[in-house]
Amino acid sequence: MIPPAASLLPRLVALRRITVLAQATVLLLAVGWLQMPLPVAPMIGTTVALALFNLFTQWRLQRARPVGDDEIFAQLLVDVAVLGLLLYYAGGSSNPFVSLFLVPLTVAATALPARHAWSMAGATTLVYTLLMFWNQPLPAPHGQMAELDVLLARASGIAPEHAGHASGFALHVLGMWLNFVVSAGVVAFFLTRMAAALRQREQELAAAREAALKNEQILALGTLAAGAAHKLGTPLSTMAVVLREAELAHAGDAELGDDLRLLRAQVDECKKILSQTLASAGQARDDASRQLALDAYLERLLEEWQLIRPRATIAASLDGPQPAPQVGTDRTLEQALLNLLDNAADASPDGLELHAHWNERELRIDILDRGPGIDANVAARIGEPFFSTKTAGDGASGGLGIGFFLTNATLERFGGRVELTSREAGGTRTRVTLPLARLQQAPT
C-alpha cells in the first residue's frame, strides 16, 4: 500500500508546474498587455527559483528515500513563501490573487495530520498579515481601461464616478475573476485526485482487514485440524489391527475378504494422509525444489483421488501445448483440488468428467458432475466459512462448511479462482482458473 505522503508529492509536482506556468503568463500579460511597471527582475527570479525547486523535487522522487508528512509540509511552505514574495512586489494583500493562500492550506488540511494543517493555517495567516503592512503598491496599468471600468461598474451597480481611478476597478475585478478561475481549476484538479486516492486507500484497507480475518479463521481451523490429525492416529491404528485380524478370521469368505481388504486400504490411506499433513504442517510446499510436468502432476492427483474414492468413476482429458510446463508440487493446492473432486463425487459418484486445459498463461480445470445442480444464490455464498449445501439426508452427516472455504482460500493464495455454475444438461460445473506463473513459485 502506498502511503498518503508518497502519493501526494507527485501531485504537488504536477500542481507546481501549473503554478509556474500561470505565474509566467500573468506576469507577461501585466507587463506586455497592461504595460504595468512591475519590478520584473525579482518576480522573474522568484518564478525561476520555484521552477528549479520543482525540478529538484522531481529528481528527489526518483530516489528510494521515503516521503514523510514533514517533507510535504516543507514543500507547501516553499509554495507559500514564493506566493508571498510575488505578492509583495504586486500590491500585497490588495492583490486579488491573495486568496491563493487557501490552496496550500486546503492541501494540508486534506492530506496531512491536524498539527500540520493548523501550522499551515498559522503560516498563511502570518504572511497575509505581513503583506497588509509591507508591500510595494500595485502600479496602475497604462492602456485603454477606462471603458472597461465603466462597463464593469454599471454591471456591478456602482456609479461610474466611483468606479475607480487609473483603471484600478477594472483591473481588480478582472484579477478576482482570473483568481477564481485558477483557484477553482486547481482545487477541482487536486482534490478530485486526492479523494480518489483516499477511496483507493480505504478499499485497500478493507481488503487487508478481510484478508486478515480470513487468515485468522484459517489459522484457527488449521490448529484444530492438526490436533484432530494427531488424535486420529491411535484409533486408525486400532482399526488397522482389528481389520487384519478379521481378514485372518474370515479367510475363507472371498466376498467379505475383499470388503475387509478395501477397508484396510482406506484406513492405510487415511494414516498416510495424516502423516503427510503433520509432516508438512507450517510449510507452503511438501517439496519446494521438486518440479513436475503439469500433465504428470494432474495424473498423479487423479490417481491419488481414485485411491480415496475407488467407487467413483471419472473420465479425464488433459489438453495443452507440449511439453507441458513445469510446476511446483504444493500439497495445499493438491488438497484443494481433491476437495473439489470429493464434492463432485458426493453429488454424483458416476459419470464425473475432468477437463484440464492450459496455455502459456493459465491453467483451467473443469469438473463436471451429474448431480442436482446449484442455485445461483447458493453459488454466491459458497466459500463462506461454515456454510454448506450438504444436509444430513445427503449421507451419514451434513457438511461442516469448511472444505470449500479452505479450498477457495488456497486457490486465492495462488492468484486463482473457483466458479460453480449449473449445467444445461443437469449437474454442476466447477471451474478452477490458476495463473501458471504462480504455480511455478511459492505462493505469497
Residue 289 has pLDDT above 60, yes or no: no
pLDDT above 70 coverage of the chain, percent: 75
- CB–CB of 327/337 below 8 Å? no
Confidence of residue 274 (pLDDT cuts 50, 70, 90): confident
Give pairs for 123-131: CB < 8 Å, separation 24+. 123/77, 123/80, 124/80, 127/80, 127/81, 127/83, 127/84, 127/101, 128/93, 128/98, 128/101, 130/84, 131/84, 131/87, 131/88, 131/92, 131/93, 131/98
Burial of 416 (0-12, 13-18, 19+ CB in 10 A): buried
| Distances in whole angstroms, Cα of residue 43 to Cα of each of 94, 361, 436 | 17, 58, 60
Confidence of residue 165 (pLDDT cuts 50, 70, 90): very low
In this prediction, residues 209-236 reach a mean pLDDT of 67
**286-444 fold:** Heat Shock Protein 90 (3.30.565)
Most confident of 2-11, 201-210, 237-246, 299-308: 299-308
162 or 34, which is more confident:
34
27 or 172, which is more confident:
27
Q: In 3D, which of 180, 435, 401 has the Cα closest to residue 294? A: 435
Residue 305 has pLDDT above 90, yes or no: no
357 or 67, which is more confident:
357
Residue 136 has pLDDT above 80, yes or no: yes
Q: What is the pLDDT of residue 163?
A: 47
| pLDDT, tens digit, 9 for 90 and up, residues 68-126 | 888 999 999 999 999 999 999 988 888 878 888 888 888 888 788 899 999 999 999 99
- Which three three-digit cell numbers place residue 168? 484600478
CA–centroid distance for 27 within its chain: 44
Q: What is the pTM of this model?
A: 0.48
Confidence of residue 250 (pLDDT cuts 50, 70, 90): confident
State which amino acid sits at residue 284.
Answer: A
In this prediction, residues 35-57 reach a mean pLDDT of 89
State the average pLDDT for the chain: 77
Residue 269 has pLDDT above 70, yes or no: yes
Rounded distance between C-alpha atoms, residue 392 and residue 211, angstroms: 31
| H-helix segments, 280-383 | 294-308, 331-347, 376-381
- CB–CB of 172/140 below 8 Å? no
In this prediction, residues 326-351 reach a mean pLDDT of 82
CA–centroid distance for 178 within its chain: 40
63 or 190, which is more confident:
63
Residue 233 has pLDDT above 80, yes or no: no
Cis peptide before 42 (omega within 30 of 0): no
Q: What is the pLDDT of residue 224?
A: 62
| Distances in whole angstroms, Cα of residue 354 to Cα of each of 86, 199, 409 | 74, 42, 22
- Cα 384–Cα 386–Cα 387 angle in degrees, nearest 5: 60
* Domain residue extents for the chain: 4-211, 286-444
Rounded distance between C-alpha atoms, residue 311 and residue 316, angstroms: 16
Residue 53 has pLDDT above 90, yes or no: yes
Neighbouring-strand partners of residue 285? none
